[in-house]
Structure 1
């Protein structure tokens, strides 16, 4: 049975000065005690807390403000400083113990690893063994796992840890890239917070939310400024045809660019098109996997022109409905030559958007498009084209597998232009017409 605690006078320097050498204790709670070790010169603050089975754990907090030392609240502590430090220390240690009950305490790194494994498992189940590992692994590895944040324990994570990491991101990163990195990290941390909620503080979801929030209100990106006029789109398609023929793509590159331009769909959607999705005058574009818990149709019907159907005819004729519509050649190195020679191996669907990067750079250069134009500009162009042709915002959103709110936020100027043209048709003369008598000007006499 534990002995009754003998309370010592520790509150002031004078009280501690009258104590004999040795360790003296004062209770802060039934299970936590603040201690003072009296030495020949000065003393040190201690804390101990009950572990169960008549056992305590004890650690040193810092130096007491005895003698000439002035308290700084960090290394040299007053009695009040020591009380607060003891409470924080015990709270942190108990959180450590709770987090480690069922194995290693979860860290940011472990949360990210688990998130990526789960994400890639879903992709393989959905797209088969040839599924890409996605860009999330690359982003999180480069910008999070390589930072000190990765080693932080989730149970001791602070908002300042997350905001400091966010502020440390390179200023050269595009706003959209930063947003994707943060969304990936937030998803990983929230998944871990849900899985390990019994071992983590109740406020961890709020810490994640506030710590990764923008430091100031962000101005929505005006994506309609990235849209290209139809003449530029046509030049890009002509350039794609030239690059396709010059580099031996057998029409694969041209067809990809044509479909991206005609549908305004994301690459991740277009690559999943099947032969059976080509119908008379329209493509049944698979909807994206974006939107957790959102129920939506599996495909969106997008009307296309006869020229697009003609371009797709070579890869539709004689093929089964379930086969991938857009494919490309895969190459392998021919080891029978002294120098590295790459030869065609087999055909397969496009996998990642990065496969388009090199030929797209040639297309931009050949078509004399603005430097820095990305393939996503084809999507912006499709949305802006439909808005300026007077299609309702909700219809444009549905055709591009997004929300009306997103369209209104990022393509506002195109909407204003379209509405201005519509409203111009409603303008009618309101003043009464002038009569012929009003137009007679009397002549000056004499």
Structure 2
């Protein structure tokens, strides 16, 4: 190719350029910028591979230069359109809008001015927050200032890798899920003016939050192995809950909610949202609300069959109470004016995290120092698998997906299926006089 600049058209208003240098050629790109009077803008693309069409480090073939140039033009056009349309939305503005919506939903649900769980986590690990109680002030993450139109997969991965090392892997994944939900929610919110976002925005978010980048299968498997309880061990937990209930003056409130967790295998967040009307005595059934996990929440309730013993434990909580009242309540204590003593003031629904303190006493009474409340859920899932229930039914009863059951309880599925197959084994070899008979000879 001779001296001078040679152009190759990329689209109606963009061209890839090549200029021969003393040692090698260089690629650059130009495009018409309508937001600045229609003049052309130009950017370098890279050093050209003048030897062959094979990829090599530090130099670009024609095909590589075309791809790189198109990406550069797309980013520049998106940024120019976003700036011309007004202030560009950032990760911060997307998260703040999402937190506002989640906090409002939590206030409607509880009737109190409270923060949502997602809002608390996103403020601490993305937006930043001032000193609150025993918590030190936390600055905002660098990710918060990134414009949405310029967001890249590397930005999201860098944020994830920057989370505190002492957090559990599964905890980091939950934080990532909250941020992913906040960013995905920005897309429909800006649907009327999509030019403020990169057209590949949703793909970038999906790639940046791939669960495989934080592989917690091994950790989760070990945790579940240690938390699968036998029926006798579950009984020991319930007995300990009854003892702690009496010792700490819960008046049966603690015992009832732990019994429900064990009987349904539901999450604590689901159980504490149950209403009096969710106990269907004659049908021996509990209607457990769906979890808020996933996009848009999970409406409706799932019917969970329970025994007469569970219904009997719950009867004091429903007798004479309206059907829309919270099923599980506990006493709220307040300090007496001018004194240090605490007294019961009124009853209210269980809050997030309130089971943690009495649970420490429960596991001490039960002699299981490492057992966690979620063990009741793990054990319920495995119990259903061992009883031969279809995986789809186990997933439905526990408000989760077949994929999650297969991923985290695979070995229990295999054992249950083997037991079922073994029950179908019959004796096939003919016997004579208590011994195996000889095979007939060939003619």
* TM-score for the superposition, normalised by structure 2: 0.73
Q: How large is the RMSD of aligned CA atoms in angstroms?
A: 3.6
**Deviations 1:18-62, CA, capped at 9 Å, x for gaps:** xxxxxxxxxxx9999xxxxxxxxxxxxxx9997778698999x9x
1:107 is matched with 90
In the alignment, structure 2 segments of 5+ residues that lack a partner are: 6-11, 16-29, 45-68, 128-139, 438-443
Counterpart CA distance in 2 for 1:286 and 1:277 is 9
Counterpart CA distance in 2 for 1:277 and 1:437 is 60
* TM-score for the superposition, normalised by structure 1: 0.73
2:122 is matched with 140
Give secondary structure in 1 for the equivalent of 2:119.
Answer: helix
1:202 is matched with 199
1:347 is matched with 347
- Shifted more, 215-224 versus 250-259: the winner is 215-224
1:224–1:414: 8 Å Cα contact kept in structure 2? no
**Deviations 1:126-177, CA, capped at 9 Å, x for gaps:** x142375332122222222332111212122222211122222233322321
1:318 is matched with 320
In the alignment, structure 1 segments of 5+ residues that lack a partner are: 1-8, 12-28, 33-46, 62-85, 440-446
- Shifted more, 186-195 versus 254-263: the winner is 186-195
Cα distance change of structure 1 residues 385 and 90 upon mapping to structure 2, 3 Å threshold? closer
Counterpart CA distance in 2 for 1:89 and 1:433 is 80
> In the alignment, does 2:99 pair up with 1:116?
yes
Computing the radius of gyration from Cα coordinates, the structure with the larger value is 1
1:131–1:351: 8 Å Cα contact kept in structure 2? no
Cα distance change of structure 1 residues 289 and 172 upon mapping to structure 2, 3 Å threshold? same
Give secondary structure in 1 for the equivalent of 2:249.
Answer: coil
Give secondary structure in 2 for the equivalent of 1:273.
Answer: coil
Deviation at 1:110, TM superposition (A): 1.2
Query: Relative contact order (alpha carbons < 8 A, sep ≥ 6): 1 or 2 greater?
Result: 1
Counterpart CA distance in 1 for 2:113 and 2:306 is 28
> In the alignment, does 2:212 pair up with 1:181?
no
Where in structure 2 are the equivalents of 1:254-273 lying within 5 Å?
254-273=255-274
Give secondary structure in 2 for the equivalent of 1:210.
Answer: helix
Counterpart of 2:184 (choices 190, 210, 214) is 190
Counterpart CA distance in 1 for 2:258 and 2:334 is 25
Counterpart of 2:293 (choices 286, 290, 294) is 290
Counterpart CA distance in 2 for 1:310 and 1:436 is 53
**Deviations 1:355-405, CA, capped at 9 Å, x for gaps:** 11111112122212142x321111111111121122222222222122223
Give secondary structure in 2 for the equivalent of 1:207.
Answer: helix
Give secondary structure in 2 for the equivalent of 1:329.
Answer: strand
Counterpart CA distance in 2 for 1:437 and 1:317 is 66
1:49–1:90: 8 Å Cα contact kept in structure 2? no
